[in-house]
Amino acid sequence: MKKSERINQILRYINQKQHFTLQDLMQEFQISKRTALRDIASLEEIGAPIYAEYGRYGGYRLLNQMKLPPISFNNQEILALYFAMQALRSFSNLPFQVSYRTIHEKFINELSESRKQDIERMQNRVSFQNTEQIKESVHLEILLMAAVQNFVLKITYQNRIRTIHPIAIYVMNGYWYCQAYDMDKMAYRVFRCDRISSAEITTIKPLEDLKEITKQNSHTLWKPSEKAIHFKWLINQAGIELFQKEHYPSMELISESENTYIVGTYEPNELNFIIHYLARLGKTVKIIQPIILKEGLRQYYRDLIENI
C-alpha cells in the first residue's frame, strides 16, 4: 500500500476511534513501530489535532473529529467493485428498487478514461454466468427493512393473509425468498417473495427470541409437524456438492461409517416437491427411506419418458 493511501486510511481509522495506541496502528495496518511513528508525524504535519497521552494507559488521542477527504479507490479496488456489481445484473428487483443499469452508469461516469479502458478490456476477457431472475418480487424493500428493524408484517401470500416476522431475504435459483417466523402458525417458514402480493407493517410486538436470529442460524427455528415424514438418502461426493448449492432447513448432511447421508423431514403435502428435488440429484443419491419415495421417483421418470 502506498504511503499516501495508508495515511488516508489511518486518518479515517483514528477519526472514528478517537483514542488509539501505536500497537493499534501496527496491528490494523500491518506496519512496524517506526513506520507508525512516521505516519503519526505525517498526520500532524497535515494538521490532524493529535496529542500524546503518557502513562500506563497512554497512547494518542484526537482532540476533535476532522473533516475527511472524499473516499478514493485504487485500480484494484475499482476492478473488485465492478466484479461485485455483476451480481446485480440479472435481477430486475433489488431491495430499495435500485437497478443495475443506474448503478453501472453512475459508476462508469465517475471513472477516468484509462480506467474505463481497463473495465472494457476486462469485459472482453471475463464472462459472468448469472442465474436470471424468473419472476418479479415487488416487496423486497419492506421485507428487508422488517427483518433489520424487527417489524411484524401482514402479507397476502397466495391469496391468504399471513402475519410474519421476517428474518432475512436471499436469492436462490432465480427466485427471491424470505425466511420468516409465521406468527399465526407459530412456526418457521420460507416464503417465495414473488408470491407475496401485498405487505404492510403492523403494530404487533415481535417475539424477543427472534431479534438475534440471523440467516445463518435461522434453521434452529425449523420444527417439523407431527405428521412430518422422516427420510434418509445415501449420497456421493458429487451429490454433496449439489446439496451444498441447493438445500432447505428441513434437511442436513450427516456422516455414518464413512458414508454421507441426507436426512430430514417433509410434510405430506410436500411429496411432489421432494420428488422433484430428488430428481435434480439424479444418480448421486440412493433412497434408504421411506420406500414411498422410490415409487414416487419411478413414477416421475415414467411420466417423463411418456412425454418425450
Condensed to tens digits (0 to 9), the pLDDT of residues 49-84 reads 888 887 777 788 887 776 656 666 777 778 788 877
**238-244 long-range CB contacts below 8 Å, 24 or more apart?**
238/284, 239/281, 239/284, 239/285, 242/280, 242/281, 242/284, 243/281
pLDDT at 152 over 90: yes
Condensed to tens digits (0 to 9), the pLDDT of residues 94-131 reads 776 666 777 778 888 878 888 888 888 877 777 766 66
Backbone angles phi and psi of 290, in degrees to 5: -80, 160
Helix axes 33-45, 3-17, angle to 10 degrees: 80
Q: What is the mean pLDDT of residues 2-22?
A: 83
How many Cα atoms within 13 Å fall on the side-chain side of residue 255?
Answer: 4
pLDDT at 178 over 70: yes
* Alpha carbon distance 164, 153 (integer Å): 5
Condensed to tens digits (0 to 9), the pLDDT of residues 179-235 reads 999 998 888 888 999 999 999 999 998 887 776 676 666 666 777 888 999 999 999
Higher pLDDT, 285 or 108: 285
Q: What is the mean pLDDT of residues 162-183?
A: 89
Condensed to tens digits (0 to 9), the pLDDT of residues 16-48 reads 887 888 889 999 888 999 998 998 888 888 888
Cα 106 to its chain centre, rounded Å, is: 24
Cα 261 to its chain centre, rounded Å, is: 26
Output the pTM of the full model: 0.63
Q: What is the pLDDT of residue 71?
A: 62
pLDDT at 278 over 90: yes
Helix axes 3-17, 22-29, angle to 10 degrees: 130
Condensed to tens digits (0 to 9), the pLDDT of residues 256-272 reads 989 999 999 999 989 99
> pLDDT grade, residue 281 (50/70/90)?
very high
Q: What is the pLDDT of residue 156?
A: 97
Listed range (139-143, 206-210, 291-295, 303-307) with the worst mean pLDDT: 206-210
